[in-house]
Structure 1
Amino acid sequence: MIPVILSGGSGTRLWPVSRQQMPKQFCTIFDKSLQTFTLQRSLRLGSPWIVTSKALQTLTELNLKDNKASGVQVVYEPFGKNTAPAIAVLCQLLKLQGKADEVVGIFPSDHLITKEDVFLNVVEFAASVAKDNKVVTLGIKPSYPETGYGYIQTEPTSFKDKGSLKAFSVVKFHEKPSLEKAQEFLAHGSFSWNAGIFVFKVSHMASLFEKHQPEMWALVSTLKADSSNLEEIYTKVKSISIDYAIMEHLSGGELTCIPAEFGWSDVGSWDAVASLQKGHEVLNVSGKDNFVFGDDDKHYSFVGIDDVIVVDTKDALMLVKKGHSQDVRHVVEALTKQQSKLVKEHVYEYRPWGYFEILKDTENFKSKVIRVNPHAQISYQSHAKREEHWTITVGSGEVVLNDQVIPVQAGSHIHIPLGAKHRIRNNTEHMLEFVEVQLGTYFGEDDIVRYQDDYKRS
């Protein structure tokens, strides 16, 4: 099997931890990121592919490096167009590599699965069903009448079994239901939650695109093996989910569901997070059942308050009543209308060479702590609107200032004049850290002219 990780997302449902530039799969909500969990599961199935956006390239490559996952093939979409174009492009690339007869598993990167061995057994069964030119979706056996998931209705009798696992023909997909309808689904017994996990043979899915989305497939089938014309295709292809584009067009004989229970959650809200982990230790005075996701160095107390979720980050604090965390999206919508940076970015940001965190951002100056990874260097660059002062706090390395190489170590200070070409490199085995203070008229990250860059950024 070829495991394929779909990694996208807009970073809204778990705001303020998840944001556009740091969607939830890369956030450390549990002891590992969801992307790491998904990657490690996928490595047990075969050699993974990842389909993600160009905007998430740095985070994706850092995650692969951290997990020492070599040999993973990554497709970088120029911009998101939902899941159908992503899967169509994947099928075309696999066909170009002579892998049309391979079975593929499509796995969202931001789901939590706690019973991994059970899950892998279900996927193995799904692959055996998919070899017979069937599209297989994994259904989650519902344990309560959830209104936040779509449902899959199946025939009452299975057509293929493997131990306790059963494969059923799909009758219909149902949108997120009302509570009353969800209770009916639960009582009926032939309904599963739609987890968005699909297994199919490449050639079969390609034929389904050709049949049900001929315009899309006509565009995608022109894709070159090196993906050099992918952006041209994406400017023309429509944005649509795989559910609407393909799955809802299939008859019961073509689409199969395997209901199972393997500790699945889409971690789709702070209520879900609160149900999955203990959270920060809190002190309740005349209060109970409060949950905090926050700073380990802070103390949190509740007085006369019950059932509250607190999410505390460096630049945002959100309180939400349990049972209402789906409404967090309205906060994000309001901030988006205000064109707030809080929707897109954190005070910290990862780069291919390391990491920085904004300490203070004012009209008069901006300060950061910057960490450069061992044997890495920032681009050789200059700024038109600011000068900089660097104070080395940890480690050693060298600064290149207008082509002059200056050795630095903890305690060294370097002044970068306005317009000067400069870079810092860490030529050691240890982390290099320095504090940067910017002075000038503008402190945006776009005030950079690059002359040399190891990562080919413009």
Structure 2
Amino acid sequence: MIPVVLSGGSGTRLWPVSRQHMPKQFCNIFGKALQTLTLERCQKMGSAPWIVTSQTLKTLTELNLRQNNMNDVQVVYEPFGKNTAPAIAVLCQVLLAQGKGDEIAGVFPSDHLITQESNFLKVVKFASEVAANNRVVTLGIKPSYPETGYGYIQTQPQGFRKQDSWEAFPVIKFHEKPNQEKAEGFIAQGNFSWNAGIFVFKVSHMVGLFKKHQPEMWGLVSTLKKDLSNLEEIYAKVQNISIDYAIMEKLGGDELACIPAEFGWSDVGSWDAVASLEKGEKAIEVQASGNFVFGNKEKNYSVIGLNDVIVVDTADALMLVKKGMSQDVRHVVEALNKEKSPLTKDHIFEHRPWGYFEILKDTENFKSKVIRVHPHAQISYQSHAQREEHWTITKGSGEVVLNDEIIPVKAGTHIHIPLGAKHRIRNNTDQPLEFVEVQLGTYFGEDDIVRYQDDYQRK
């Protein structure tokens, strides 16, 4: 099987940890990033995994792969998100062009948690065997309670193929997220599963389904060049639609199967879900109980007179929410977006292709950062129109290029970057290079940059 990981998301449901430029699949919530855990599972399926993700997540994706030595993973970068149907169509076209039309592919979300990996891999193997007979197979989650936050898959009562404790059933219908009464009815009937967004299919068969049910989309995607150079042109024209709407809901029971299963699945869709899976930070509770804290392991937390509260603490935001109400985090995000607050998009830290920076202080008079440059990496050769900079090297060594002059630097070196001067710093060693930057001027935005040379082709 060829495992395909779809990596997108707006980063809102687990705010303030997850944000637009740091969506939850890259957040270290369970010891490792969810995308790392997903790729580790996928690496056990026989073929090297693929990722389909947005160009805006390229830096985080490549950093995640590099940190985990996942050099065999191949990535397709979408110019912008257009939902899951175009993503799967493009992946099918790429595999078709590589002569892999007869292979089985499995599509998996990047941001779900699975705690029973052995069961999961066995179910996926069974699904691939069913899919080999030109059926699309979806994995359903056996519901344990009437959840209103998930879509449901309704299957026929009688299955058509069994293996071990699992059985494949023809699908009758996909149902949108129900209200409480409907959800209770689904559970009572018994032949309903939660929709986990996991699909398994033969590549050539899925291509045929796109040709039949989405001819306009496939007409565009089929013109994709091998080097993907016209992908942006295609995406500008292709419809924004999910694979459920585009294909799955149009298939009959003889074309689409569901395997209801249990493998410790969670879509980690809220802080309530996280609190049910994690212990959280240690907190001193005084006349308090049932509280969950997610924050800084080196920080002391105390809760007095409060019960069943979720506390989420980051460097620039603190959120308290009553357990059972964390779905309403979206209203906080909506309010911040109306204020055009950067808190929904960025943390005080940011990963770049060459390294990392963290904002220490941001005032009207100055802005300071700590900056790390990876071994054998360099920032772009650039200048600023509205600020000068002072760099003090705190760790490692390298060289600064200042108006074409090369200046060796090491811990303790101070460099002054005058207003408008061309400059870059280069780490030409095998160890990280760190320095503190202090900006002085009239504007400290990240967009006050003119780039003359850049290893990463940024504008």
Alignment TM class, shorter chain as reference: over 0.9
- Counterpart position of 1:410: 411
Q: CA deviation at 1:452?
A: 1.7
Q: Secondary structure at the match of 2:237?
A: coil
TM-aligned CA deviation for residue 401 of structure 1: 1.0
Instruction: Output one character per residue of 1:331-389: Cα deviation in whole Å (capped at 9) or x when no partner.
Output: 11111111110111110000111100011111111100001112211111111111100
Asked whether 1:364 is paired with 2:379, we answer no
Q: Residues 90-122 of structure 1: CA distance to partner in whole angstroms, max 9, x if unpaired? A: 111111111111110000000001111111111
What amino acid is the match of 2:385?
A
Report the equivalent of 1:451: 452
- Residue 409 (structure 1) shift: 1.3
Give yes or no for the alignment of 1:335 onto 2:346. no
CA distance in structure 2 between the partners assigned to 1:305 and 1:206 by the alignment: 55
Report the counterpart of residue 10 of structure 2 in structure 1: 10
State the match for 2:237 in structure 1. 236
Report the secondary structure of 1:98's partner residue: coil
Deviation at 1:297, TM superposition (A): 2.1
Partner of 2:349: 348
1:40 paired to 2:44: no
Structure 1 distance, partners of 2:196, 2:381, is 46
The number of equivalent residue pairs is: 458
Q: Equivalent residue for 1:299?
A: 300
- The residue type equivalent to 1:32 in the other structure is K
Deviation at 1:447, TM superposition (A): 1.2
CA distance in structure 1 between the partners assigned to 2:179 and 2:75 by the alignment: 39
**How far did 1:180 drift?**
2.0
What corresponds to 2:269 in structure 1? 268
3-state SS of 1:99 partner: coil
Partners of 2:396 and 2:227 lie apart in 1 by 41
Distance in 2 between residues matched to 1:122 and 1:66, nearest whole Å: 29
Matched, 1:246 2:250: no
Determine the structure 2 residue equivalent to 1:105.
Answer: 106
RMSD over aligned Cα, in angstroms?
Answer: 0.9
Tell me the equivalent position of 1:189: 190
In the alignment, the residues of structure 1 paired with residue 129 and residue 274 of structure 2 have an alpha-carbon distance, to the nearest angstrom, of 34
With the length of structure 1 as denominator, give the TM-score of the two structures.
0.99
SS in 1 for 2:90: helix
SS in 1 for 2:146: coil
CA distance in 2, matches of 1:223, 1:331: 40
Matched position secondary structure for 1:235? helix
**Alignment partners' CA distance in 1, 2:30 and 2:357:** 22
Q: Alpha-carbon deviations, 1:256-312, whole Å to 9, x = none?
A: 001111111000000000000000101111111011111122211111111111111
Distance in 1 between residues matched to 2:39 and 2:417, nearest whole Å: 41
Which whole-Å deviations, capped at 9, do the CAs of 1:180-216 have from their partners, x for residues lacking one? 2222222222111100000001111111111111111
SS of 1:415's equivalent in the other structure is strand
Distance (whole Å) between structure 1 residues aligned to residue 237 and residue 399 of structure 2: 47
Deviation at 1:71, TM superposition (A): 2.5
Match of 1:166 in 2: 167
Question: Which stretches in structure 2 are left out of the alignment for 5+ residues?
Answer: none
Determine the C-alpha separation between the residues in 1 that align with 2:117 and 2:354.
33
SS in 2 for 1:310: strand
How far residue 424 of structure 1 moved from its aligned partner, in angstroms, is: 1.0
Could you say which residue in structure 2 is the equivalent of 1:24? 24
Percent of aligned pairs with the same residue? Answer: 76
Q: Secondary structure at the match of 1:219?
A: helix
Distance across 1 between alignment mates of 2:53 and 2:256 = 26
The answer on 1:375 being equivalent to 2:376 is yes
Give runs of ≥4 in structure 1 deviating > 3 Å: none
Q: How far off its partner does 1:35 sit?
A: 0.7
1:24 partner letter: K
What's the secondary structure of 1:233's corresponding residue? Answer: helix
Q: Distance in 1 between matches of 2:398 and 2:107?
A: 44
Matched, 1:83 2:84: yes
1:383-422 superposed matches below 5 A: 383-422=384-423
Q: Which amino acid aligns with 1:135?
A: V
Q: Distance in 1 between matches of 2:108 and 2:327?
A: 23
**Other structure's SS at 2:368 match:** strand
Indicate the larger mover: 201-210 or 176-185: 176-185
How far apart are the structure 2 equivalents of 1:444 and 1:44? Answer: 44
Equivalent position SS for 2:20: coil
Residues 95-244 of structure 1: pairs in structure 2 closer than 5 A = 95-244=96-245
CA distance in 2, matches of 1:206, 1:339: 42
2:61 paired residue number: 60
- 1:410 is displaced (CA, Å) by 1.3
